[in-house]
Amino acid sequence: MEINFRPMTLADLDGVLVIEKASFTLPWSREAFYNELVHNRYAKYVVMEHDGRLVGYCGMWVVVDEAHITNVAVLPEYRGKKLGEALMRKMMDMAKQLGAVTMTLEVRVSNEVAQSLYRKLGFLNGGIRKRYYPDNQEDALVMWVNLT
């Protein structure tokens, strides 16, 4: 499957919101993405395309030498094809190029599929954020990886 990565633009927001709503119980708003793209100098967002269609995206903040994944999502019909892995590897490479030496993210404690992917990429458990997700008060597992 041929995929293409490129920086997210404001013109991508309709497609990103489709992915967001299909992926999360508390999807980010258009305004949240707009603010990330326009006002957050630490934010880097990438979209993933297949045959000209947005099928996934990922965002991160890079502050000094640390990258923090803000969100990552792939359309449900494109999951299980290693596209999430490709997207995360792209972000890890980008973070390294931007000077990050570590990367972190939060994942629902119940999301074993995502945790398995992150472990495959070298992420290790770093702690728990209690009641992190406001929709159901689920805890978040904090994971870290060294990029060097």
Beta strands, E only, 75-123: 102-108
Q: Say if residues 130 and 106 touch (Cβ distance below 8 Å).
A: no
CA–CA gap between residue 43 and residue 68 (Å, rounded): 9
Q: Could you tell me if 71 and 56 are in contact, meaning their C-beta atoms sit under 8 angstroms apart?
A: no
93 within 8 A of 145, measured Cβ to Cβ: no
Q: Which amino acid is at 28?
A: W
Which backbone phi and psi does 29 adopt, to 5 degrees?
-85, 165
Rounded distance, CA 48 to CA 2, Å? 10
> Which candidate in 118, 132, 133, 138 is catalytic?
118
Catalytic residue among 42, 106, 112, 133: 106
Question: Is 118 tagged catalytic?
Answer: yes
Residue 2 known to be catalytic: no
Residue found by looking up tokens 């258009």 in the block = 30
The catalytic residues are 106, 118
